[in-house]
Amino acid sequence: MSALSFNGEYKHALDDKGRLTMPSGIRDGLGSKVVLSKGSKKPMPRLRVYPMPTWEKMTQKLDGLNDFDPRNAEFKLRFYSGSFPSDIDKQGRLLINQELRSFGNISRDVYIVGAGNYLEIYDKDAWEAMRDSLDESFDDLALEIFQ
């Protein structure tokens, strides 16, 4: 069985209740239960959507860290406190709570972006600005990574 991989970008809008309809092309890979999490704020704030198999692999690695190391403990505290188990309903909608919407500066229009074994959700304007920046540095990064 091949590894799960999410690709592409999908422009969508949240409904009045803060629900986001996941694109049909990626629903099967997500399953009905996911973990919705705060991502990084750099260079643009974003949310992450982890399918349960990806989440479980990450938490196994984190659970193996030494909690007496303050950096590990702080990372785990931020990581777990900003993560929320979520269900995808029968209509393919994912509820994004107000705390996560605020963190990601998300009001209505968003992009759902494939990031390999998880998805990222960006405010529309933030993704468009970041995508332009990524396009400018792509060739240099590709050369560095695949050298």
CA distance 116 to 75: 22
CA–CA–CA angle 14, 88, 12 (5° rounding): 25
68 inside domain: yes
Mean pLDDT of the chain: 92
4 inside domain: no
- Give the number of domains in the chain: 1
Kindly state the average pLDDT of the residues 135-141.
Answer: 84
pLDDT one-digit tens code per residue, 65-106: 999 999 999 999 999 999 999 999 999 999 999 999 999 999
45 inside domain: yes
Which CATH number belongs to the domain containing residue 71 in this structure? 3.40.1550.20
Kindly state the average pLDDT of the residues 19-34.
Answer: 91
Q: What is the pTM of this model?
A: 0.91
2 inside domain: no
CA–CA–CA angle 120, 121, 127 (5° rounding): 100
Which residues form the domain of 96? 9-145
Q: Is the pLDDT of residue 1 over 80?
A: no
